[in-house]
Structure 1
């Protein structure tokens, strides 16, 4: 715009007006509510810890008068320095409560459905504690006062409170537990598209990124017949977003909001900011729960993206913001962030900065900041790149990798991309493959398991194996599935769009024609490999070996003709 006024020359009220005008035109898509999951709690609580503190907590909860049953599991001895002044009264008040002692217990479940199994010291089979105490299969709530806690999770399931006696968290739990009765709902934060999941395929193991980053242990690999599937327990999931950021194909998609709508919000916000006269905007990704009144004091050039959880945005969102006109991106880490999410952000940052360097941009355009106002409000150190026009993140039909590739291509156009393969951190979903042409038989096992369009085959008349690096997420399924060990993964990032987006032929050869009807049905190397492997098989002894050179139709006909000529051969089938 010819009349654009640099933000640095605006008075504070004018600069704030630019920011307010941008937010007035663009709204966060909070009305797109996903489906929900339900919890039902009767208020039956189990308290775990040493006997004195467990009974003391039970007495306080009984005074509330709204809970169901209260049961005790004593798994640690009472400390010798415990305050015993009120011990006699506490024991009298809680003498009728079900109480069991066991050093070892296994806990699973969530609000309204906690399964607790104890192992008796005499070696007898485990006991369902809820069945023994209250004649139910599960407890509704669990107050864990023991050290260490029964569940070692950064984000424990709803209804589970692992606290220390006398702490603020303890007092909060005593207050919250009596209120945890009835029906409760929360959003189903994710959906999974198993068709593009790179975790497993045809019995082969591949990507495990989502399994390694969930702070709630809600993501599991589940065996279904011969296949393994990624499943997310919606009752355990806290919506941290780490799995969707780590997923390289977009098989796990966040729903609060959908990634395309989040990308579209940022692109439109930046566009509205420029339209209002602002320049060099900084986009700050921050946790909505931490985005309180302090955000109103943020500098006018800082545009906030409020996330349900900080892990819900990753490489794709950060790079897209730069491509859509942000001078810098700042990810605001806070003290309450689970260690797993913090590690994921560091990992994603390392990968993202490696891409920026390879694309010819300063890696400091994307930074992680603390809770300091100085870091948050610092002026941008860089000018904005030319923003993408209409080629933004609002193509709701595009897959995650396609959206990321579009961003990378734009950044390459705006920078000086390297012409060689650049190193990336371990585990980054970028790289290529090498194919040993002498060993490859073009059996297409790799194509069958590839969850992206990276690998493709030819047809019966032109057998070939082709590869497009822009689509490869380095899941390893092709390497694991290859029966000839002909594939090797190559880590690294090709920044040059022409090299990265090109489809290259890894191997090609003539088709093998059926010796009976002339129909092409395989490659010469495939037929030769199968003949070598089945040379000693009795079914293909003698003249029967010819069947391996026939198409599937002619092979069946030849078997039936042989059986008609020699009925005794039927006994060998």
Structure 2
């Protein structure tokens, strides 16, 4: 086992050139990034021993996994003046759609879908976002051809090149409706105003996205109206066309859950503490339980920590595996420290926290 990953390629090449085969395959462990050697170089021996012993422990037992698949279907939400320029830049690399919550001049070419309206529902996660909105203006930008005939026909100049109708100026002449009759993009009496679609990624440029959770889902970026923050978020979008899996971090035992009985809600500790909004309440036949969306759970363990009955527990790594890691750290550090006659407690705590910081 070599405690250096930087020169892994060199060591592997040298190992292939030796005449006699190695007793065991080479393993490379990066402890440099987590140990902070500069200040404690002379006393870091026990810490090195503890981290290497931890690295030698077999991987935790596998658990069920959660899958993500993002194909690059991006929805940009915000004022047209900000959303449309970003859409023009990203449309060559991503499958872009725009939802304008405030008017902005529409491009003459229809290179990507542009919608208008107000968000009524938004939930989901990377690769599986569901968004609903209300088409509030009489002009449907998806049907509009940008011919400009309605702009010329309107006697009150209530329509401009952003193609919403300013209802404060409109006097109900309906000349625009007559002009657009062959296209049908304008409808003051439109009954079906609800719109819905699915996306893989969301770039929310509104000043106040009004998220119900403090930790947003993977694939959802809300940089606000700051151009720099928007640029940083956009740089990450190209990396989110991916397919990967992660462990299912939790295990839930409904039989011992104290959430509800006989139609009455009892404990809701896990629901209240979840920062990602992954946990919800369900009642069936008078029996209450919680429902966890594993794609939203990020493995922080807060739900397991607050659960009073043990119905929700942290599943990866398991309690027994964590106990084995702690025991290994303590044993290795103590043995090395005794050989060097060093104080044990302060550095042991430091090595332990540093190792877990690396895992996180």
Q: TM-score normalized by structure 1?
A: 0.42
Match of 1:266 in 2: 326
Counterpart contact for 2:134–2:195, Cα < 8 Å = no
How far residue 272 of structure 1 moved from its aligned partner, in angstroms, is 3.1
Match of 1:71 in 2: 97
Q: Which residues of 2 match residues 171-570 of structure 1 at below 5 A?
A: 171-276=231-336, 277=338, 278-282=342-346, 302-305=350-353, 306-307=355-356
Q: 1:103 to 1:254 in 2, by over 3 A?
A: same
1:148 aligns with 2:175: no
How far residue 125 of structure 1 moved from its aligned partner, in angstroms, is 5.9
1:44 aligns with 2:92: no
SS of equivalent to 1:302: helix
How far residue 144 of structure 1 moved from its aligned partner, in angstroms, is 0.5
SS of equivalent to 2:283: strand
Q: 1:124 to 1:237 in 2, by over 3 A?
A: farther
Q: Structure 1 unaligned runs (5+)?
A: 1-11, 79-86, 131-137, 283-298, 313-573
CA deviations on 1:296-330 (whole Å, 9 max, x unpaired) are xxx676222444799x9xxxxxxxxxxxxxxxxxx
1:114 aligns with 2:141: no
Q: TM-score normalized by structure 2?
A: 0.64
Q: Which has the larger radius of gyration?
A: 1
Counterpart contact for 2:69–2:127, Cα < 8 Å = yes
CA deviations on 1:454-507 (whole Å, 9 max, x unpaired) are xxxxxxxxxxxxxxxxxxxxxxxxxxxxxxxxxxxxxxxxxxxxxxxxxxxxxx
Counterpart contact for 1:51–1:74, Cα < 8 Å = yes
SS of equivalent to 2:351: strand
Please provide the CA RMSD for this pair. 3.0
How far residue 231 of structure 1 moved from its aligned partner, in angstroms, is 1.6
SS of equivalent to 1:19: helix
Distance in 1 (CA, whole Å) between partners of 2:209 and 2:239 is 23
Match of 1:455 in 2: none
How far residue 219 of structure 1 moved from its aligned partner, in angstroms, is 0.8
Moved more, 95-104 or 213-222: 95-104
Tell me: higher relative CO, structure 1 or 2? Use CA pairs within 8 A at least 6 residues apart. Answer: 2
Distance in 2 (CA, whole Å) between partners of 1:175 and 1:105 is 28
Match of 2:32 in 1: none
Q: Structure 2 unaligned runs (5+)?
A: 1-39, 137-188
SS of equivalent to 1:47: strand
Q: 1:309 to 1:253 in 2, by over 3 A?
A: farther
CA deviations on 1:175-224 (whole Å, 9 max, x unpaired) are 23234335332221111122222222344432211111111000111122
Counterpart contact for 1:49–1:73, Cα < 8 Å = yes
Counterpart contact for 2:208–2:224, Cα < 8 Å = no
